Structure 1
Amino acid sequence: MPNLARKLLIGAAVDGLIIQPLATKGQRAQSPVKIKYDDATVTSLPRDQHPDTSKPNSSFEAFGIIGLFTVSRLSYLITITGRQQVAQIRGYPVYVVTDVALTPCTSQSEAETAITHTSIQLRRASAERLVEETDTESEAEALPAAAGGEDADDPGANSDREDTNELAAAGERSSIAEDVFKRRGSYGRYAQRWFSQKVGMGGVRRAETAEAAGSSSSKKTATPSDKALSKTVVQEKVDTPPAPSAGESMIPKLLRMAHIWFGTSKSFYFSYDLDITRSVGSREASAANAPLHKTADPTFFWNHTILYPFTGIGDESLMLPVMQGFVGQRSFVVDQNPPQLDSQKDAVEMSDMTPSMHSDAGSPPPERASVDLRSSENKFVITVVSRRSIKRAGLRYLRRGVDEDGFAANSVETEQILSTPTWDPSSKRYSFVQVRGSIPLFFTQSPYSLKPLPVLQHSPDANFRAFKKHFDRMSKTYGSLQLVNLVERHGPEAIIGNEYQKNAEKYNDEKSEGSRSLDFEWFDFHSACRGMKFENVSLLLDTLGEKIEESGSTIETNGQVSHKQDGVLRTNCMDCLDRTNVCQSSFGKFMLDLQLKEQGFDMSAQLDQENSWFNTLWADNGDAISKQYASTAAMKGDYTRTRKRDYRGMVNDLGLSLTRFYNGMVNDYFSQAAIDFFLGNVTALVFDEFEATMMTKDPGVSMSRMRQLAIETSQKIAIEDDKEDFIGGWTLLSPHMSDTVRTFPFEEVVLLLTDTALYLIRFDWNLDKVSSFERVELSHVVGIKVGTYITSTISAAQTDESKNVGMVITYEPGKADVKRTNTRSLSTMSSSAGQSSGKNEVLDEPAPAPAAPSGVLNQGILSAIAGGTRTQPPRKIALKALYSHTSITEAKGVKSMTENEQINVIVSEVERLVLASQSPQDDDPGHSSIIEKGDIISLAEAKKSTGLFEQLGHSIKKLVWA
């Protein structure tokens, strides 16, 4: 990170913002960390030295830092301003992030304005909540603590209530400084209006910020300090930022997405004391006292990239890892000697460790009337922790299948922990881990259909390489692997299901000595459960029960692992959401019964067999993962919650399908770009690219490798004469129709050069096959034009003359110039160049050739026949350089030639070989060069030819997608 940005981050960006530090193991920090503007220093000041005590209402306390990101010279700090305790693991609280603040880090004044506005909004929200809590205080006191009986409470939440009640009783209104130190920052929701306004170079415009604050205060009675502060904000000088670039125009949407994604979506979890990114079996005792950011599993460390600017600043308490997924907890009671059916006492009773994410946070379900347990009863706590992987992370149709490194989309590790409520070290703790993930093959599905057809991509060898990498890594991590495939055996899903099974069999056949085989079980969920008979999932348990029992659980006693789970169930359907969650909850219940039976409790003998506490927990888990991947709750959730299915569930699922359909077409493209950006897979340049195309590219696919493979494949297919010396190959853009310079869409093609000819290859990038190619003798080339090549004026990047360059090769068709088409290709070219160019050309068919096997490259049409009375007009091959710097290459640190350098290298090689292949016409050196400098399509010409319909279409698309 540049020194200037680093200074802004640690200094001017956050002066006045107090960050609650992480606790060190065994002790909690004595005072908050104050990030002070003093030549980029971070200090932990005594409370009486905090400037906030003399500047009321000018600061707010955050529960932690999620990270910092920079877009087009504008930096924003993300801090946690809202949290809710959802569980206690090993006696340590675990929180879900419920709100965040985004503070601009461009200048001291911008940061102060934003912090001031945030503190005002937090104070107002806190006052509103105080009124609500006062009305229900007596009722709330009668309820148990949100964390449940003997578990520790959220200190922030409790101190909030106690202190505000005292202040209310005294008739006083506290300052923000008092709120910070007495109430420890347990404020309400953060008002996002200040950053949802237009953004310029200097961050959020102060006038609009003040207007938002003023309009909000006009509806409520403001305190004198609030009024004075708002007046100060209004009187500040308003900067006039320069016109935003393409990337900057996306910032308001990016900020809204960041606020929703990190904050109000309630999908990110953290703990100050416990590494929640690792399961019980994967934790290392030697790392128990290490900082959390060093022990966190990189696979589940979601803010690792945006926390990077804080490394090396001397205070590791700021490095707070957050994990996306789900954490939920329930307590229940079981009886070794359950009463008879006529007993009034339930044998299994449920109490929430925390309120469900779907319930009112202030109204947890009531506990048992009595905390006394019979001698035959025991109380347990079940915790479900789902960890979403950052590898190939993203949204439904935009991240499917596998990438080249073997990482599958929507990979989630789910751990089910059984323990005592007090986490007594001498008692056994059980951990059962399952995983889910997309079928690890290259495939896509279109978002423009309710039930899209899966389309396999790339060659069988490329698929198997990625497949093998995926399961080699999983085997090393989890041991033996039981694959549970839930897709349909017939219909569209069978396409990908059959390939999955075929690759699993190949993996077992080619496995090395000592490695484990893949156990593959194909359970057609829709067929087996047709007619809403979801209870037929028990048939799958009958098949896999013995395997689950053999793998067992990880058992921990007195801090030591006495038995480790050997193997894991990997479950998938097409999305790995709905069917997967139903089956995983059944596997979890099966293992829970085994764990309790080992301790002398027979669940089948209990009176209450509905297990609503278990079903609700797993249904919440399914909804959480589904919202993060598909933007809606999970389907079939009614069965997961109640173990019953009726028409109302079907109607609800139809609504969810339509919502997913809309999000897949409209919202997901920008959200995917933002997710890739926050994870460090791309740079901020992705927003410039998004504005131009309204699409995003997959950073998990190495285009450099694909292009090299395409060049090698094209070389083998197109160059038939062994006597031709291969000079080089390049990938460029070319118009869809030949002999034109501007026909959309432009396609990425392969250009091959030998000592006697050049080849223009139309390549099928999905199938890794040559679609067609044209061969042109170098001796027929008569000229090359090099210059500006503007094909669109929609975005700033497309009008940059230094980046949009190309060449047009002109040649006179001859007898040896041929075009061949792969008859099996999905992108078969037009049968004649004359049809492509729109000209009426008379082309002679070649003499009949012997029949060739189907699918090979058959000779198509000779472009021309030399001699005779007929002559062909010169033809053109238009080529444009690919952008050398993209958001993906910049993120990976790939250095490449500029666009001009790419074109100059190709042109110089072609010219050298053309001149060598032609007989010199004269000795005049002035006529030796065939290169002409000049615009192919100038910027002015491109603007004239850009039609109103094209501009209107892009504007509408931008309005919808961006």
Structure 2
Amino acid sequence: MASLPFRPFRDINVHASANHYAFTSPSSPTAPTLVVDRPSGDLSLNVGALLGGKRVSSIAGILGMVKLRLDKYIVVITKAQPMGRLKGHMIYKVIATEFLPLRERPLHDPEEDTYLGLLKTFIKSGPMYFSYSCDITNTFQRQSQLDISEPLWKRADDRFFWNKFLQSDLIGFRSSGSRQQLGQQPGVDPYILPVIFGMMRIASTTIKTTPLTIVLITRRSRHRAGTRYFSRGIDEEGHVSNFNETEQIVILNDSAGGLGGFAGGGGIQTGKVRGSGEKETQIMSYVQTRGSVPVFWAEINTLQYTPKLQIRGVESAVSAARAHFDEQIRIYGDNYLVNLVNQKGREQRVKEAYEQMVKLLLSSPKEGLQQDQYSDEQFRIVEPSGRHQQMDRLNYVYFDFHNETKGLKWHRAQLLLDQIHDPLDKQQYFRGIDMPANLDGRLEVRNHQTSVVRTNCMDCLDRTNVVQSMLARYALNRQLTDLGVLSPRETFTSADVAFEVLFRNIWADNADVVSRSYSGTGALKTDFTRTGVRTKAGALQDLRNSITRYVKNNFLDGPKQDAFDLFLGAYLPGSSSMTPVFTDSRPLLIQSIPYLLAFSLFFAFVGMFTRRLPDAAVLPVRLFIIFWILVAGWCANFVFKNGMLYVNWPKLNPRPWVTEGYNEAISHVRKDKIIGGMIARHDRHLSTARYTNAEEGKKRRE
């Protein structure tokens, strides 16, 4: 039997002194103490108690360490909320954190405070989850193939190890030690706690009197993470924006009710405590993915409701797309690429670019049209004519979602399932048995999922989640039928109304969480996911969400993107930088125009609604109102005509098209007949110098 590795400590005490921070676990008195030197940040392990330090607090774990402009900080989890048990292991959500500065007397600096504010807001709003004893970064199928004698952080999936950059100091110390302690340092393993970013829902319920646990986990990739309009498409390394892996888990006969942490015995840790007459615990999971269209494309905010679409040559992205799908095929097997973008209008270019990319990747593609049996609309399929190379495991399926479901005919989305019924039937699902005699925690695998459906729309949010919930429903009905919980041709929709409501709400919650982290609002179309019908009230809610998205994506997402880049190491603050990073570099006159607009509207309203004396002249007041209305109209026209200058862009890693668009907008303003001559020729603009810093951040993350 393989020996169980050290699990992350559930209880850590922090001791602080002028010279160091010391972290100890009271439940493991023989474990070495992790010491962080102040102010250098050097790490060491100490056997025995350190003298001279006072106990600061008890924490739930160490999120990591981050160096900002003037100081380095240890980020600790001060409050974690239990979310439920997954096969006996408790899962927690990060609720509150604290930044422990290494300098004894913190230096107050405006930029340092801005960095801290960005990180604190990001961590507070980001849904992050962890477990002390269960690897929630990996699906159950991947877990069954891993060496469970490895520490939890070493088994973690690199894509979903969300705090890996923050843990880089601890991981580096574990691998090679420090100047004081050379060589590998396994004693630091229990202090490294992997965290995922995404959605987690665990619900114990019944279906037709059969007790079971249903779990939904969505893991967001830490690569190319960001906000809706500042992170699109694919990068040179093959990472796509808004990539999420969603695993739907059903656990039958889950009687593991013990403590799910490292402090329990082996039987409790692995959920093997059962009576002699109890049934085997069965775990079934079904995995789907979503991700942005894997070509080089962007949508450029200009304050117009519909951003400007930019697609670079598809051929230039072939190597990046090949790297992306190489990884997807290696991890998931065959990929069924379900594309839901519109085939007409502005989205048509994205659809065509995706199809062109697939054709370039396949060795000898064949393309066909299949007639929709219910309408004149057509599905497009691109698949290989033979199986000669790795990319031939890609199968592209197009479904015109909006056109098929227009007029609130959402039942027609079922046509897509009919179209891919055979691949769904063939791909199977994962099934493992938790055997009582297998005390090392490994499942006995009875079935594997052999392929994955990768779904996308433009944002990979609303349409995508509707389709993914339909695929999950199909898989769950099949699993329950195979187990004998449902009879053949019976569905849980008709068999158990309460379970149907629970299923719908779990998937609607998933839609909202994934959408909120990317677009700033809950998802659209969740009324269909929650109730099964499209309603006018749901359409009105979608309108409100769309308006909120417009405001946030144009005026609030810049700092949010900066927070992503800081947390994930895509940007490294430099103490030697002489140019203030967060200073507004636009000419003062351009900055003042929105204020002049508000000022003009105020005076126009004052003129219109202020009571006049009986003998007061009317003409001067009318001229006053007309003047300020004209000024307000000119200001509003100027702002929307030069929208690139008023979008709240990311300041840490400016996008190339932002720099180009900004310079073009400034050149256009200089030609303005009214204010062109007042714009200084030597104004500072968005600099591309920080790209060097971004590349350094990328290397450090790797």
Common fold: TM-score over 0.5: yes
Judge which range, 290-299 or 509-518, deviates more.
509-518
Q: Distance in 1 between matches of 2:92 and 2:191?
A: 16
Q: 1:533 aligns with which of 391, 409, 426?
A: 409
Q: 2:292 aligns with which of 424, 429, 438?
A: 438
Distance 1:584 1:743, change over 3 A: closer
Report whether the alignment pairs 1:481 with 2:335.
yes
Report whether the alignment pairs 1:280 with 2:140.
yes
Q: Which amino acid aligns with 2:162?
A: W
Deviation at 1:32, TM superposition (A): 10
Q: Distance in 2 between matches of 1:735 and 1:679?
A: 29
Q: Which amino acid aligns with 1:513?
A: H
Deviation at 1:627, TM superposition (A): 1.3
> Partner residue of 1:857?
none
Judge which range, 576-585 or 667-676, deviates more.
667-676
> Partner residue of 1:587?
471
Distance 1:791 1:268, change over 3 A: farther
Q: What is the CA deviation profile of residues 851-900 of structure 1, one whole-angstrom value per residue up to 9, with x for unaligned ones?
A: xxxxxxxxxxxxxxxxxxxxxxxxxxxxxxx7497322333569xxxxxx
Q: Distance in 1 between matches of 2:545 and 2:24?
A: 39
Instruction: Map 1:353-372; keep pairs closer than 5 Å.
Output: none
Q: Which amino acid aligns with 2:361?
A: Y
Q: 2:696 aligns with which of 876, 884, 890?
A: 890
Report whether the alignment pairs 1:403 with 2:235.
yes
Give the TM-score, by structure 2 length.
Answer: 0.69
Q: Distance in 1 between matches of 2:510 and 2:472?
A: 12
Tell me if structure 2 keeps the 8 A contact 1:293–1:320: yes
> Partner residue of 2:606?
none
Deviation at 1:457, TM superposition (A): 2.7
Deviation at 1:734, TM superposition (A): 14
Q: 1:427 aligns with which of 261, 281, 284?
A: 281
Q: 2:513 aligns with which of 615, 624, 628?
A: 624
> Partner residue of 1:417?
249
Equivalenced residue count is 538
Q: What is the CA deviation profile of residues 453-491 of structure 1, one whole-angstrom value per residue up to 9, with x for unaligned ones?
A: 562432231033333332222112211111111111211
Distance 1:650 1:666, change over 3 A: same
**1:492 counterpart SS class:** helix
Please list every run of 5 or more consecutive structure 2 residues that lacks an aligned counterpart in the other structure.
Answer: 1-13, 178-184, 257-270, 273-279, 365-383, 436-442, 586-647, 671-679
Report whether the alignment pairs 1:563 with 2:447.
yes
Q: Distance in 2 between matches of 1:660 and 1:639?
A: 20
Instruction: Map 1:369-384; keep pairs closer than 5 Å.
Output: 377-384=209-216
Distance 1:36 1:440, change over 3 A: closer
> Partner residue of 1:523?
399
Q: What is the CA deviation profile of residues 576-634 of structure 1, one whole-angstrom value per residue up to 9, with x for unaligned ones?
A: 11111111111111100100000112253514276111111111111111111112111
Report whether the alignment pairs 1:460 with 2:320.
no
Instruction: Map 1:428-827; keep pairs closer than 5 Å.
Output: 428-448=282-302, 451-452=305-306, 455-510=309-364, 513-515=388-390, 516-557=392-433, 558=435, 559-602=443-486, 603-604=490-491, 606-608=495-497, 611-685=500-574, 688-691=580-583, 695-696=649-650, 792=682
Deviation at 1:427, TM superposition (A): 3.1
Deviation at 1:642, TM superposition (A): 2.1
Q: Distance in 2 between matches of 1:95 and 1:524?
A: 39
Deviation at 1:538, TM superposition (A): 1.7
Q: Distance in 1 between matches of 2:18 and 2:529?
A: 47
> Partner residue of 1:211?
none
Distance 1:80 1:507, change over 3 A: same
Tell me if structure 2 keeps the 8 A contact 1:31–1:44: yes
Q: Distance in 2 between matches of 1:682 and 1:457?
A: 25
Instruction: Map 1:900-919; keep pairs closer than 5 Å.
Output: none
**1:649 counterpart SS class:** helix
Instruction: Map 1:87-98; keep pairs closer than 5 Å.
Output: 87-98=84-95
Deviation at 1:254, TM superposition (A): 2.7
Q: Distance in 2 between matches of 1:684 and 1:492?
A: 38
Deviation at 1:102, TM superposition (A): 1.7
Q: 1:67 aligns with which of 64, 69, 81?
A: 64
Deviation at 1:697, TM superposition (A): 7.9
Tell me if structure 1 keeps the 8 A contact 2:146–2:155: no
Tell me if structure 1 keeps the 8 A contact 2:122–2:563: no
> Partner residue of 1:203?
107
Q: Distance in 1 between matches of 2:538 and 2:138?
A: 35
Q: Distance in 2 between matches of 1:261 and 1:543?
A: 41
**1:464 counterpart SS class:** helix
Give the TM-score, by structure 1 length.
Answer: 0.51
Larger Rg: 1
Distance 1:431 1:462, change over 3 A: same
Report whether the alignment pairs 1:326 with 2:326.
no
Q: Which amino acid aligns with 1:547?
A: P
Q: 2:75 aligns with which of 53, 75, 78?
A: 78
Judge which range, 456-465 or 70-79, deviates more.
456-465
Q: What is the CA deviation profile of residues 93-144 of structure 1, one whole-angstrom value per residue up to 9, with x for unaligned ones?
A: 111101111222222xx4xxxxxxxxxxxxxxxxxxxxxxxxxxxxxxxxxx
Root-mean-square deviation (CA, aligned residues, Å) is 3.7
Deviation at 1:553, TM superposition (A): 0.5
Deviation at 1:452, TM superposition (A): 2.3
Deviation at 1:451, TM superposition (A): 4.9
> What is the percent sequence identity of the aligned residues?
28
**2:229 counterpart SS class:** helix
**2:159 counterpart SS class:** helix
Tell me if structure 1 keeps the 8 A contact 2:295–2:357: no
Deviation at 1:300, TM superposition (A): 0.8
Q: Distance in 2 between matches of 1:51 and 1:76?
A: 21
Deviation at 1:261, TM superposition (A): 2.0
Deviation at 1:14, TM superposition (A): 9.0
Please list every run of 5 or more consecutive structure 1 residues that lacks an aligned counterpart in the other structure.
Answer: 1-8, 111-201, 205-243, 336-376, 707-731, 747-789, 799-881, 895-962
Which structure has the higher relative contact order (CA within 8 Å, separation 6+)? Answer: 2
Distance 1:585 1:286, change over 3 A: closer
